[in-house]
Each structure stands twice: as C-alpha cells, then as structure tokens.
Structure 1
Amino acid sequence: MSKKEKINILIVDDKQANIFALEQMLAKPDRNFISATTGNEALKTVLNKDICLIILDVQMPEMDGFEVAQILKSNKRTKDIPIIFASAEKKEHQFMMKGFEEGAIDYLYKPLDKDITEAKVSVLLKLHLQKKELVEKNAALEKFALLINNSADLICIINPGNLKFEEINQAAFPLLGYKPEDIKDTTLDFYLPEEYRFKLRKLSRETKEKFSFESQILDKQRRLKWFHWNVVNKIGLWFANARDITQAKEVEEIKNYLAAVVKQSNDAIYLHNPEGKIISWNQGAENIYGFSEKEALDMHIWNMVPNFLMQEAQAAVDSILEGRQIQALETKRITKFGRIIDVVFSASVITDSDNNLKSVAITERDITQQKIAEQEIKQLNSNLKRNVAQLEITNKELESFSYSVSHDLRAPLRAINGYSGIIVDEFGGQFNDELKRLFGIIQNNAKKMGLLIDDLLAFSKLGRKEVVKMPVNTTEMVNQVLKELQNGMVSGLKTVVHDLLPAEADPALLHQVFVNLLSNAIKYSSKKQNPEVEVNSFETEDENVYLVKDNGAGFSMDYAHKLFGVFQRLHSDEEFEGTGVGLAIVQRVIVKHGGRVWAESEPGKGAKLYFSLPKPATT
C-alpha cells in the first residue's frame, strides 16, 4: 500500500452514536472510516471496497454479527480480513467461543477502553498489511520465476569470487545437456576452453556494473557452442543472461571466408553443411537456378537433384566428406522453374584451423517444387494428426462436461426447488408480502436454471452427434413443427408456409432447427397487434437457402454478431423469456451440415433468419 493511500476500517453497528464514538477514538491521518448499520450493508461494502479491518457489533437486527462474520469467512475474497467483535452483552465463554469460531480475531467490550481498543486495532492493522504485502511480493516472485524458467536463454547467478553457479534456469538442459542441479555449485570455467578462462578470470576482478562478452562453451557431449553473455554486477554477484549464437557464428565465419572469392563470380558457388543444408548462396547461383539467397538458405542440396540421380548425388557427397575433391563432373540439376539443366560440378571440403569438418564448397546449382510439395504434405499430415488428437480430447471434455451438468448441477437445483416448496407449503400462510415475493423469485430462478441446464446439455450433445443425411420434405416438416407449437401460439397469429425446396439433412437435427427458429419468431412477434410468421426458401448456385420471417420486436444489426453465441440475448427477461441457447444450437447444426446462418433485422420491424444447406446430390 502506498504512503498516500489510506487504510479503510469498516465499523458495523446499528447505532450511529457507537459508530461516531469509535471513529473519534481511533482517528488517525492514515485511517479512513466506513460505516454500515446493517449486516447486508456491511457485506455490500466489503465486496466493493478494499477493507483492512472490520469492527463488528454482535447485536444487530435481522442479521447479527456472527452471521455476517460467517458469510465473510466463507468468501474467498473476504476470508482474510481481520474481524474484531464489539459487544456490550454476551460476555459468557460460549459466546466468545462462537465469535472465534466465526472468524473473529479479538473481542472489544463496551464501554470501550480507548488505549486497549487502539492497541488492538493498531496491531491487527499492522499484521494484516504485512501479510498483504508478503502475498503481493510472493505473487511477483512466482511470476519472475515463471519467466526465468521459460526463457530459451541461460539465466543464472554466478559468484565472481570463485565463478560458481549459485542458480541457473531450466534452459541449461536443452542448451547444454545438463540438468540445473548438475550445474549448480560447479564453476563456469569448467565448461570453457582454455583460451577463454584467462579472459573470464580478468573480468571477475573488474567492478563494472554492466558488461558483455562472447565465449565458447563445452556441452555435455563436449561439443563447442558459442554464447553471448550480458552480465549485471550487483551485491557481489553476477546476474547473467547467455544466448546461444552458435549458428549465427558459423554462418558469419563462412560468409567472411567466401565473400571476397565468390561475390563477383558468374558461376554458381555455394556451401552446404554435412547434412546437406545450404548455408551460403552467391549471385551466380541465383542467376543460374532462379532461387534468391533467402530461398536457398531454407533448402537442402537434395532439393535440386533429380530423383533418378539421387543415389549418384549421395555417393558424390559421401566421397567429398571423406576428403576427395571433385573436378569438372558433368551432371544434371533442376532449376526453380522445373527445368532440368546440364552442369559442370566441382566440390571440396572446407575445414577449420583444427582440421574439423565445417562445410562442403560447390561450384556450379537448384530446388524442386516436388520437394516443397512433399514438405507441405508432411506438415499438413502432421497438422491433421494434431487436430484429430485435439478433437478427441475435446470430445472427452464434452462428455465429462455433460455428466457434470446433468448430475452435479441438478442435485443442488433439486434441493432448492424441494426445500423452497416445503417452506412455502408449511409456512406460506405466515409469510408477509415481501417474503412471498422473495420465495417467488427463488422458485422462478430455480426453474430458469433448470431450463438453462437443459439447453446447455442439448447444445453440448450436438458436438458429438453424428450427422446422418437423407432426403427431407421441408414443407411437411415445417407444417408438423407448427402443429407441435400450436399451444404456445398467441391468438390471431398468421402463419404462411410456402412450397419449400427439399433438403438433404439429418431429419432430427433439421427438425430442431425449425423448432428453434419458429419458436423465436412466434415469441418475438407475440406482442404485435397482428402477429405474422412466414417461411420461404430460394436457391443459389450451390446452396438452398431457407428463411423464417416475423413482424415482431426485431433488433439492431449492431448486435448481430452476438445473436448465435451461447447465452447471448438481445432482449431482457422482462421483455421476452429465454435462455439464449436456441440460435446457438441452430448455428451448430447448420455448420455440421456444411451450411451457414445469418440474420437481417431492424428494431420494431421484425427479423429475418436465414440458413443455407448444400444442394442435394443429383442422381
């Protein structure tokens, strides 16, 4: 909490005189007092304000202090706020114990002693603020730890006195092959070649606050890798970040070696590593084969070899890697545009100063579209496998979700319905008007929750239902649906069903689509003087489009994007009842059929709901 921010203390007492007396007794510049005279008012205040301490009167009408404390301690957001009970009565042991059971930290007895009251309040405020600060610091530390351990770079703490690693992150394993616990308490110079150890020891004696350097490091397989280090020197420790720059170093070294030789050559001159990946590409190569340098650096030499020469090319590369030079060998290559050309091929191995193999230098070269296509197919297959796996996981999650909805949520709902019904039956005659109203709200909301559960369950089941398509007479289906909905129709409703285009669809699912669309049309036109619902269809080049039109309340097209979302409603319950799942079910069914859903409307001018289905296959 910042110095300028005041500490909020909530005083709850049904007597304003008691509240005023406490405020005067505890007044300090850094304290802000908030008061409440009822339990309900206190609960609302705690949910909307950052309260650091509650002084709570035990004896209050409607809801006593014990009940208020019990609710506060059962809420995750408010359970840690310290509570002091203030009481003029009930000093017996059992009442004190009840207060402590409900989460009280201490008791104050009226008339209040100023010194004791101030002492208790000051201590509890100090402890609460210290705990809050500690929680915030721990949260920040957890975020930092997450960032550090998910970094692709080495992040470590080194003691410059002995160069020991005191801490290192998880990147040590993918970069060096060592687990963090294997590296801790070992020294940095253990992993360095001899020529870098002197430089490191020199740096350890300097007192620069920030510095950078590059070095090679031996990994667990004793392979040399290049790292760029950034170090902050504070409190006698190095806080270091090291990035693997091995590939960049190799490319830089090779480019510097060849730059002067190959820049102006009209021949195709390029390098590839032992695995055949191209790592250098000159202008002559681009002129001959058509590939830009950027394109070529993403290729392997095998992309430019005709299939019927692949074995021969592999044998040539193996021979070169063994140290043989090839001079003026005639062979064939493929250009970027798929043309096979004759080339004169020369090649040799490039090694470093220690005679270690670095790359193969080739003079002539190309890439094939076939290889690119193979890579694309491989990626598509990989994506398909991944998507199938994700779909299986999603289906399992939906099954689990359906079980939870149908069992776990229904049990408490039955309890609410059952117990509220018992109370109304047994004691309804004793209720005043307000209590009757409140119980009516409970029962209505329980009924609404039941409908929500039913609709949500129906929506989730659609994701797993297999679509079984067959010819459907949509005109007959719509007339049948209207008969089923007859009991819910308002007096004077006019329905018009034109001859509709036939469909190829799952009959049960398409029936549900028309039930939902027609139910909505009837409901939203019910408040019009002359309500009317019309069903029609028309065809496009490759779709049959079906339209359900009404002259009802309509809606603004600014909110049309919400129309087909689960629980998204454009009208309040007071205007029209509903759960907001019906149109979401329509969209899911139509999409599973390969169609689409959309709407047109204006407020007060009715709505048009469209859906399309692919045209039935012709026999």
Structure 2
Amino acid sequence: MYKPVKETILIVDDKPGNILALEALLETKERRIFHALTGNEALKLALDQEIDLILLDIQMPEMDGFEVAQILKTNKRTREIPIIFITAEIIDSKNILKGYEEGAVDYLTKPLDPQLVKAKVKVLLRLQTQKKELVQQNLILEKYNLLINNSADMIGVIDRKSLRFEQVNQAVAEILYYDETELLKLDLLYLHDKSNHQYLKNLSQQEEELINFETWIFTKKREQKWLHWKIRVKGEKWFFNARDITEIKKNQRIRSYLATVVKQSNNAVYISDSDGNIISWNIGAEKIYGYSEREALKMKIWNIIPDIIKPEASLLMQKILTGERILDLETKRINKFGKLIDVLYSATLLDEGKKSTESSIAITERDITQQNIAEEKIKKLNQDLQDNVAQLEFSNQELESFSYSVSHDLRAPLRALYGYAQIIEEDFGEELSKEARKYLDNIKRNAHRMGILIDDLLNLSRLGRKNLDKNKVDMHQMVNEVLDSIDKNFRGNTIVMIDTLPPCHVDYTLFRQVWENLISNAIKYSSKKSQPEIHIYSENSDEEITYHIKDNGVGFNMAYADKLFGVFQRLHSDQEFEGTGVGLAIVKRIINKHQGKIWVDSQEGIGTTFSFTLPKN
C-alpha cells in the first residue's frame, strides 16, 4: 500500500518538451504531477482530480491560459486552486491585471529560473496544504461539537479543585432540567446529598487518569436520579460523561425483588410500568400464556387483554395507580394462540408514594393474550408496501422506455455520423489533406466509442431488472472459454496461469460477463510490460469462495481506489488505455446481485489484483 499523495500539481502547456522540463524540475516523492497539452484536457483533469496548484502556459492554441483560468474560476470545485501563469513574452500591466482577476497568484517568464520556480511552487503548495488542513480541522471540530450537543449523555468539564461546572452540553436540560447558564453557576456538590460530599472530594484528590462511579443526584425539580459518571483527569480538569441510569436501577431493583419472591411460581406473575410496558415475566406466565420472557418484555399488558374489556381494564389500571389493591377478580385473558381463558386477577402498586407516572404494578394471574396492538401498524406497512411496489413498477416502465429511447434515438445519429464520415473518406479521400483525414478518423473512432458506451450503459441499467438464473457453473471451464474467445492480437504475448477454480452457483450469462471484463482489463493494463503475466486463482472457506485475478501491469495509486467501481470513473486517460469507465461498475453490480463483494489491491508500476467472493450456498 502506497502512502497517499500529499501534493498534486497540474502542468498545462501545448509543448510536451516544456512539460517534461517542468516535471523533472518539480517532481518529488511527496508530489503527483498531472499534465495537459490543451485547455480542454486541463479542465477535465482539474474537475476529476484534487489539484493543489496549476502551472498554466498563456500562449496556447484554441484556448489560451486566460480562457482556461476564467472557466476554472467559475466552477465551485476549482475556483480556489492557485494558478501560476507562464509566458514567453513580456506582457503589459493590463494583461497582468487580467491574469490576477482570472485567479493567478503569480507569473513566471521564460526562460524559467529553476531555483525561482522551485521556491515559488514550494511556498504555494505549503500554503495550499495548510489551507486544506485548516478546513479539515474545522470540519472535525464541527463534527465533534455536533456529536457532543446531540448526545443523550451529559458531557462537559468540571474544575477539579472547586468542582464547579465550566462547560456542559445541551443534555443537561433533558436530564437535570437546568439550562446551560444555570448549571455553570453551580458545583457538583450542589447536586448531591451531603452524605456524598466527602466521597466526591476524595475522588477529586485521586491521580488516576480514569475514574468511574455512580451517584444519585437532585434535579432542578428536586427529583432523584441515578447517574453513571465517567471521568478523564487532565491536569486540574475533569472531562466527564454522565449517563442517566435511573430506569436501569429501577428495573434492577424490581427484577431482584421478583426473582427472590415469585420467579419460580406456577402462577403467572409479572410487572408492568404505568404505561403498560411489561418489565418482568416469570415461568408461570410463560406456561399459562405461551410467551417467552424475551417476547413478553417487548409487549404491553394490553396485548393480553381482550378488546371488549379494555375500557374496563383501563379504569382498573387507574384505580391501581392511585393505590387500590385488587384481589382475585375473575376476568378474561387471551393466550399466545388466541384462546380465550378465565383468570383470577390480583394486582398491587409497588412504588407507593411516587408519582403515578413513575410507578410499577405487580400482577398475579393464570393467563396471557395474542398481540392486537400492532394490527394498525401492520396494515399501514402493507399499504405502504403496495404503494412502493406500484411506484417501483412505474419506475421500471419509465426506465425501460428510456432504454429503448437511448437505443434508438442515440444510435441512429451515430450510425449516420459514422456513415457520412466513411463516404467522405471514400469519395474525396484523395482530395483531403492529411489533417482532414485525421479529423475524419477521429470522428469515426469517437462514434464507434460512443456506440460501445451506449451498450455498456444499457447493460448496466438492465442488470437491476434481470432475475438471476442460478445454476452450478464450472468456473475453471468458464475462464478457459473466455480466454479462447479473446482476440489473439489483443492478448498478444500475455502469459495466463490458471489454478484449479472451484465451481459455484451463479447466473451463467452474467458471470461470463464478469470474467470477460476482469480478464480483458488485466490483459489491457499489463500489455505495456515486456513480459505481461496474469494469475487466476482462488481461496476456500466454510461459507464462501474468493476468486483472484492478479496482473503485473501498470497498477494505480490506491488513494483513488474508491472511484474505480463508479460509472465513468477511470484512473488512466484514453491516450494510455481505451475504455468507457462502465465495465467495472457492471462487474460490481453483478457480484452484488449474487450476495458477493469485490475489492482491489494495487501498486503503481507493480500490478493489480481484483478479488471477489461468492457464497457457497
């Protein structure tokens, strides 16, 4: 794995010799240098890459340096890139001002002074790096600030000597009912009973880096709450995180009480809170109602009460919350299987003296009910699902229509364009200049490339709608068939080594396309090596098979690996290697449809390995 490039420079000059000279002068291990011979190439590179500095020649044909700078300045992505203009002529002050207006930060005049060029570039790159680091630091600070203020826990700083609050987040209003300004006027002792003051003072004298403890405190409303404190000691400051564990403590107490008294009773004994949530469930309740403890703890008591008596049960709940005790009341319940049963119902309030909203009710029965409370939610979800299916069908029809439109409306003019260029070449070829014939060749080549691109995009769009026809496929045989089908001239002198490849359940047609893309890529990008080699092999595990396609080609910088599987994302120019930038996107989509995953590992100048997994089942 290569270390990510820190500095990137774009050199723009219509003379390759000038570019090579500047590249040799400025190249270091920490820099990546791009170059462009035309303004259009420069604009494309500036949009596709993260550029830190542009060295831009003013005198260029078709589009001069001023025009390139003006376009760069209008784009949000490129407007902040510093530009050094390079000129072979002495230009007047008016044009100098124009250059500065178009985004230039300096001028260099040919012949270039090597030391001056290196010094100016070094300074500008350092400034650009510092600017990017500052922006990144600001983003990190904003992220941390957002996380802290949106945390459900209290987070802040306490002075270790005075135990006064110095900083707090917005969670204090939810937990303690104080606003931030009010709490900053108080100390930690104020929130605690006097019996805890000495304990807290002793903690403040400890030198441990991390301190954990639990205490109960008073809120602004003088209610009691339990907090779990995590303290990190830094000098004379406590950086704290305090979590409200009141409900956890309450449930622990209730469960402990229940466990010691009635856990093994054959009667149904359970506890609910004031909202009807079941918070404890014994073995007797499991036997009578059929629900396991895990199931019951996700339910409310209304799930086991027949609809016809729910109004009556609601009134009974209100009476219990006011302190009334119920003993052996004959009533009805429903078990997990929908059976209506008779029970003797007894209930009592556990938390007498507390507000009704904080109380719990202990209930003893012989019954349980099926779930009714979720019917409306399920009905709504089903309706939403039907609506989504209808919308999806409509979207698929639109996509199908678009595919036909692309196939017909774009192919026809491309065929005409190619045909007319062919006619001109055949009928007037002898009268055309060498440059004109070059233009005609470019027209035909680009028309042909556009047709391939349309095919790739149509294939990509169809993948989402195609149902998989999975069968057991001999991968070793498929790879050999793909190699046999590849044009010998394209394959050249490439040596391909194939280990034994295990079979897998895949869609034959789609996966042949996967192998064709990956093997063709490996041949293409290793073709410039004196002895290109490709190794295809696999690894087996209990749950999946991993296939690898390794080449010794040109490779690429892994800093840009995340772009590789996107549509139109290419790491090499058309002049280096032809391609549409859609093939790997198709490969990834096919593998994803098979519940697999694909990744790549590469080193510049050494080679690339594409790997993908497929499940065995």
The TM-score with structure 2 as length reference comes to 0.56
Match of 1:52 in 2: 52
Match of 2:509 in 1: 556
Match of 2:21 in 1: 20
Report the CA distance shift for 1:392/1:156 in structure 2 as closer, same or farther (over 3 A): farther
How far apart are 1:379 and its partner, in Å?
0.8
Q: What's the % identity of the aligned pairs?
A: 41
Report the CA distance shift for 1:264/1:32 in structure 2 as closer, same or farther (over 3 A): closer
Deviations 1:344-374 (A, max 9, x none): 44333223687987322233332222xx1x3
How far apart are 1:83 and its partner, in Å?
1.7
Report the CA distance shift for 1:364/1:127 in structure 2 as closer, same or farther (over 3 A): same
Contact 2:271 2:281 survives alignment (8 Å)? yes
Q: Secondary structure at the match of 2:229?
A: strand
- Give the letter aligned to residue 257 of structure 1: Y
How far apart are 1:131 and its partner, in Å?
0.8
Residue pairs, 1:107-506, within 5 angstroms: 107-113=107-113, 116-151=116-151, 153-160=152-159, 161-164=162-165, 166-169=167-170, 171=171, 175-176=174-175, 185-187=184-186, 189=188, 192-194=191-193, 198=197, 201-202=200-201, 203-216=203-216, 223-234=223-234, 236-306=236-306, 309-310=309-310, 313-351=313-351, 358-369=359-370, 372=371, 374-383=372-381, 432-435=436-439
How far apart are 1:252 and its partner, in Å?
0.7
Contact 2:166 2:184 survives alignment (8 Å)? yes
Match of 1:463 in 2: none
How far apart are 1:107 and its partner, in Å?
1.0
Structure 1: runs of 5 or more not aligned = 402-428, 460-554, 562-566, 569-619
Match of 2:406 in 1: none
Residue pairs, 1:65-144, within 5 angstroms: 65-113=65-113, 116-144=116-144
Residues 5-14 or 286-295, more deviating:
5-14
Deviations 1:168-216 (A, max 9, x none): 15x556x438597566735464883535862684244444322222234
Q: Secondary structure at the match of 2:366?
A: coil
Q: Secondary structure at the match of 2:240?
A: strand
Q: Secondary structure at the match of 2:275?
A: coil
- Give the letter aligned to residue 159 of structure 1: I
State the alpha-carbon separation in 2 of the partners of residues 335 and 304 from structure 1: 7
How far apart are 1:325 and its partner, in Å?
3.3
Contact 1:274 1:360 survives alignment (8 Å)? yes
State the alpha-carbon separation in 1 of the partners of residues 237 and 389 from structure 2: 50
State the alpha-carbon separation in 1 of the partners of residues 178 and 226 from structure 2: 19
Contact 2:268 2:365 survives alignment (8 Å)? yes
Match of 1:520 in 2: none
- Give the letter aligned to residue 363 of structure 2: I
Report the CA distance shift for 1:288/1:109 in structure 2 as closer, same or farther (over 3 A): closer
Deviations 1:561-583 (A, max 9, x none): 9xxxxx99xxxxxxxxxxxxxxx
Report the CA distance shift for 1:85/1:3 in structure 2 as closer, same or farther (over 3 A): same
State the alpha-carbon separation in 2 of the partners of residues 320 and 353 from structure 1: 13
How far apart are 1:79 and its partner, in Å?
3.6
How far apart are 1:106 and its partner, in Å?
0.5
Report the CA distance shift for 1:195/1:362 in structure 2 as closer, same or farther (over 3 A): farther
Residues 198-207 or 262-271, more deviating:
198-207
Contact 2:158 2:239 survives alignment (8 Å)? no
- Give the letter aligned to residue 509 of structure 2: S
Q: Secondary structure at the match of 2:359?
A: strand
- Give the letter aligned to residue 378 of structure 2: L
How far apart are 1:338 and its partner, in Å?
4.1
Q: Determine which structure has greater relative contact order: mean sequence separation of CA pairs < 8 Å that are 6+ residues apart, divided by chain length.
A: 2
Report the CA distance shift for 1:38/1:367 in structure 2 as closer, same or farther (over 3 A): same
Asked which structure has the greater CA Rg, the reply is: 1
How far apart are 1:133 and its partner, in Å?
1.3
State the alpha-carbon separation in 2 of the partners of residues 311 and 60 from structure 1: 86
How far apart are 1:254 and its partner, in Å?
0.7
State the alpha-carbon separation in 2 of the partners of residues 377 and 560 from structure 1: 47
Report the CA distance shift for 1:433/1:267 in structure 2 as closer, same or farther (over 3 A): same
Residues 214-223 or 283-292, more deviating:
214-223
- Give the letter aligned to residue 378 of structure 1: E
Residues 219-228 or 126-135, more deviating:
219-228
Contact 1:11 1:19 survives alignment (8 Å)? no
How far apart are 1:305 and its partner, in Å?
3.9
Q: Secondary structure at the match of 1:263?
A: coil
Match of 1:64 in 2: 64
Report the CA distance shift for 1:362/1:52 in structure 2 as closer, same or farther (over 3 A): closer
State the alpha-carbon separation in 1 of the partners of residues 38 and 217 from structure 2: 67
State the alpha-carbon separation in 1 of the partners of residues 292 and 389 from structure 2: 40
State the alpha-carbon separation in 2 of the partners of residues 197 and 159 from structure 1: 17
Structure 2: runs of 5 or more not aligned = 400-431, 463-507, 515-566, 569-617
Deviations 1:380-431 (A, max 9, x none): 2443676699899999999xx9xxxxxxxxxxxxxxxxxxxxxxxxxxx999
State the alpha-carbon separation in 1 of the partners of residues 62 and 437 from structure 2: 17
Q: Secondary structure at the match of 2:157?
A: strand
State the alpha-carbon separation in 1 of the partners of residues 271 and 146 from structure 2: 41
- Give the letter aligned to residue 184 of structure 2: D
How far apart are 1:130 and its partner, in Å?
0.7
State the alpha-carbon separation in 1 of the partners of residues 190 and 438 from structure 2: 79
- Give the letter aligned to residue 321 of structure 1: L
How far apart are 1:298 and its partner, in Å?
3.1
Match of 1:550 in 2: none
CA RMSD of aligned residues (A): 5.9
Match of 1:605 in 2: none
Contact 2:193 2:217 survives alignment (8 Å)? no
Deviations 1:526-547 (A, max 9, x none): xxxxxxxxxxxxxxxxxxxxxx
- Give the letter aligned to residue 176 of structure 1: I
The TM-score with structure 1 as length reference comes to 0.56
Contact 2:343 2:367 survives alignment (8 Å)? no
